[in-house]
Amino acid sequence: MAITQTPESIFLTQRRPLLRLAQAWLRGPNEQAIGVIRDYRRFFAELLLSLPQGALRAAMGSPAGDTLRSWIEAELPELPADQNDDPTWSAIAARLVETPGDPAAHLAAAGYRHAFRLTDLPAIEAVPDWALPMLMRYWLRAPRLFQAPADPGNYHVYLLAMLDRIAAMADAAADPLQAHALIEAALGPLDIQMAFHHDANLRPLMEKRGRLVERALDLAGPTRDLDRLAKPGQGRRLRVGFLVRNLEPRTESFIVMAHAEGLDKRRFEPVLYTQRPAEGAFGAAVGQRFARVAVIDADPARAVEQLRAEELDIAVLGNIVCFDHRGLGRIAACRLAPVQVALAAIQPATCGYESVDAFITAASTEPTQVEAQYSEQVELIDATFNVFSYAGAARTPAAGGSRKSLGLPPSATLFLGGASMPKLQPGLTRAWMRVLAATPDSVLALYPFNPNWWPSYPHHALRQRLAAEARTAGIDPERIRLLNALSMGELIQLAGEADVFLDSFPYSGNASLMEPLVAGCPVVSLQGGSQRALQGPSTLRAIGLDELVAPDVDGYVALAAALAQDRERRKDLQRRIRQALKAAPFFDTKAFGGAFGPLLERLHAAALGATYPERASA
């Protein structure tokens, strides 16, 4: 097409239609709208290919750069190409081969392929420096939805190679400023979460990512080192700081509250440090479990200064830092206290930071070679790996979660799945199709759109993939229902009306199992080979439900189908579950604290080089 305007003006005028089409694609367009989106994708990709580098550079450095960012973030690779797309993609692929450092070719590819699916690893060293920040947004942006069972593993391998290349480029940078700019350009968009959805050991990946964060700190601050030693603990309480971004009625909050609640307040001073404290009744419940609640700055450098001024004895990472490279994740990469610990209850993998001394987990949720999984010292607690305190949160059934209110068949066998969308990998959902095929009268209801994971979701792309998997398995796609996010009370109500809850794999559930168990709904889980794969099985075994843990995928499918067809067995399991929950160790904060507290004291004593007297029995 002939360009009669400046590239900047063209991009500025295209941002609004691009955003409208992207939103339509995410929501679920009709066939006519899909045709319009495909036409626009071809137009925009061809526009990019037609631009000289100088024009593209000028556009990137102007407000028109927002249009390019919107193009990268539009999830258009999830829209299948048709025959009209072939010439455009062929032109893009040829440019990537002929001139692998061509920024326009990479940007055009962003509308058609996720970077990890390109034939060759991006030649980042051949790309002009001015284009790197924009292209990093493409190269390190994960798909929101995988299409094949091998995708999570392939994405993991891709990230390992990309982080190696980025580190090598930083090493070869002409000066520290250039190295720092490169690392920050990579850490901003780096999306590591989607690499967690398979059973591989994530330690190498997390250590590579950790070294980049640490190098950014070494180049621009704050300093990672703490300039004071551990203080003797005899005769005073140990100050234990729990670090969180914010406190809302959600999983991580209930876990952090429970860890503080169980500590002996005669020996410990638990303090909550947060960027946004909870309010209302929930905020009051949070405050009762801590000696005090302190607000820290959102800026990592200022937050580190504040936390060090608190003279903590022990710092506990109370949010997932594995996925966060700029906020709390960067704060955690600094030494804040003589002892710094991560919890398996919250962190799904090693943090990969030199600043984190110990990873507290349990034998029941770890593979045999546990030390190989962590860069930290592994501490196996003599308790369950997790504990919850739901004070301040409503945990009673709510009518909005009934079969009737959700339009679910009143008499059909109801399978329920509560995994968030990132966990809905093709290997898992294809197994669920086998379960449905084995129980012809059944319906599968999923509520994967958890606002605590992502702010928005590609609903339409998920529906398309599930429908395709259903048709391949000979199942009517209408038997799969996607529900919007439900409240805790609605989940309990719905689980009480469900027949079987299907745990996810290979990233299993823990908090997501609580509502089904409280409702007495049998849960089927799968034995795995990593901490994140063993959380669900560990939870069931903790209350004597070993028989609900399948050894392999075939066993998982057979167990789910058998339970669906055996009403008496489900009734017996419901009775046993409700009885077991009365003494469930993952609700017993006092017992958990009886193991957690001495472990913290031992870690502090080791840092001090001293010993503690025997803890008096309660």
Q: What is the pLDDT of residues 76-112, one digit of tens each?
A: 898 889 999 999 999 999 999 999 999 999 999 999 9
DSSP SS3 for 496: helix
Decide: pTM greater than 0.85.
yes
Pairing mode of beta strands 377-380, 292-295: unpaired
Q: Is the pLDDT of residue 366 over 70?
A: yes
Pairing mode of beta strands 413-417, 500-502: parallel
Q: Rounded to an integer, what is the distance from CA 563 to the centroid of its chain?
A: 30
pLDDT of residue 611: 53
pLDDT of residue 452: 78
pLDDT of residue 615: 44
Residues in CB range of 177: below 8 A, 6 or more apart: none
Q: How many CA atoms lie within 13 A of 52 on its CB side?
A: 5
Q: Is the pLDDT of residue 1 over 70?
A: no
Q: What percent of the chain has pLDDT over 70?
A: 96
User: Bigger pLDDT: 453 or 414?
Assistant: 414
Q: Is the pLDDT of residue 583 over 50?
A: yes
pLDDT of residue 372: 96
pLDDT of residue 533: 96
Give the residue-averaged pLDDT of 447-457.
Answer: 85
d(CA 32, CA 517): 45
- pLDDT per position as a tens digit, 379-408: 999 999 999 999 867 778 888 888 888 888
Give the residue-averaged pLDDT of 358-383.
Answer: 95
Q: Is the pLDDT of residue 2 over 50?
A: no
Residues in CB range of 273: below 8 A, 6 or more apart: 241, 242, 243, 244, 294, 295, 296, 306, 307, 310
d(CA 521, CA 515): 9
d(CA 24, CA 43): 17
Query: Residue 248 has what DSSP assignment?
Result: -
User: Bigger pLDDT: 5 or 535?
Assistant: 535
**Mean pLDDT over each residue of the chain, to the nearest integer:** 92
Q: Is the pLDDT of residue 616 over 50?
A: no
Give the residue-averaged pLDDT of 212-234.
Answer: 90
pLDDT of residue 617: 39
Q: Which of 26-40, 170-184, 337-351 has the lowest mean pLDDT?
A: 26-40
Give the residue-averaged pLDDT of 334-339.
Answer: 96
pLDDT of residue 401: 85
Q: Which of 212-216, 225-229, 328-332 has the lowest mean pLDDT?
A: 225-229
d(CA 409, CA 478): 11
Domain 238-380 has CATH 3.40.50.11380: yes
Q: Rounded to an integer, what is the distance from CA 428 to the centroid of its chain?
A: 17
Give the residue-averaged pLDDT of 309-334.
Answer: 93
What radius of gyration do the chain's Cα atoms show?
26
Q: Is the pLDDT of residue 235 over 80?
A: no
Locate the domains of the chain by residue range. 7-139, 238-380, 399-586
Could you tell me the two tokens for 388? 């919850």
pLDDT of residue 618: 35
pLDDT of residue 566: 97
Q: What fold is seen in the domain 399-586? A: Rossmann fold (3.40.50)
pLDDT of residue 248: 84
pLDDT of residue 220: 96
pLDDT of residue 37: 86
Q: What percent of the chain has pLDDT over 90?
A: 76
Peptide bond into 222 cis (omega under 30): yes
Question: Is it true that 238-380 and 399-586 share their CATH fold?
Answer: yes
Q: Rounded to an integer, what is the distance from CA 408 to the centroid of its chain?
A: 29
The C-alpha angle 35, 36, 38, rounded to 5 degrees, equals: 65
Q: Is the pLDDT of residue 8 over 70?
A: no
Please give the order of strands across the beta sheet that includes 268-276.
Answer: 292-295, 268-276, 238-246, 314-317, 339-343, 358-361, 377-380
pLDDT of residue 168: 97
| pLDDT band (50, 70, 90) for residue 456 | confident
pLDDT of residue 460: 86
d(CA 491, CA 226): 45
Q: Is the pLDDT of residue 529 over 50?
A: yes
